[in-house]
Amino acid sequence: MSVTTCSSLPANALENLFSSYQLQIEWVENTTTIPGSFWGETEAGLIKNTLYIQQQTPVHSALHEACHYICMDKTRRSGLDTDAGGGYDEENAVCYLQLLLSHYLPGYDQSQHFKDMDQWGYSFRLGSAKRWFNDDASDAKQWLIDKNLINTQSEPNWTLRLN
C-alpha cells in the first residue's frame, strides 16, 4: 500500500497550513513512537494543541488528526490526549474538512488525497472518497457551516470550533 507521506511535502507546508488554527507541528524521529497516536505505527498523534508526525506519516493522517482538533469544541480540545473522540457527524465533518484543506497544502492536492484515502481503506457508502465528497457529504458540509468552520462556498474560515 503506497500513500503520500509527509516527507514528500515542502518544508513547513503543514506548519503554514495550520498556523491560523494555533496547531503546533512536532516532527518525531522515524525510530521513535509517535506521542498521542490513536492508531500507532506511523499515524499522526494529537496531544493538546500539538500534532505529532514523522517523515513517514501519511499526509491524510496528519490532515485527519489536525481536522479533529479544528472540529472539536473548546472543552475537548483543552483536554485532548490521543483520542479525539466525537460522534458520527463530527467524524464525517473531519473527513470533509481534510479534503477541503488538502487544496491549500503545497505539494499535495485533493485528487491525490482522494486516492490516498481510498488506498488506506476509508470506507464510504458510495465506494470512494471522491464520490462521497461530491455526492453524499452535504450533511458534513452543513455541519462545518453550522460550526462556522467553512462558508457556504466550502472555503475554510481558518478558525477553530468554539462550541
Instruction: Report pLDDT digits (tens) over 29-70.
Output: 999 999 999 888 899 999 999 999 999 999 999 999 999 999
Which pLDDT does position 68 carry in this prediction?
97
Answer yes or no: is pLDDT of 27 > 80: yes
Q: Cell triple for residue 32?
A: 521513535
Listed by start position, the domains of the chain span 6-78, 88-146
Query: Does the pLDDT of residue 163 top 90, yes or no?
Result: no
Sign of CA dihedral 75, 90, 95, 55: positive
At 3 the pLDDT is 95
> Average pLDDT, stretch 20-36?
96
Nearest to 65, CA basis, from 30, 20, 101? 101
pLDDT given at position 15: 98
Average pLDDT over residues 19-28: 97
Q: Nearest 5 degrees, angle CA 158-CA 98-CA 154?
A: 55
pLDDT at 1 over 70: no
Taking only the tens place, the pLDDT of each residue in 100-149 is 999 999 999 999 999 999 998 777 777 899 999 999 999 999 999 999 99
Query: DSSP letters along 23-84, please?
Result: -EEEE--TTSPPTTBSS-TT--EEETTEEEE-TTSBHHHHHHHHHHHHHS-HHHHHT-BS--
Q: Residue 45: beta bridge partners?
A: 37, 52
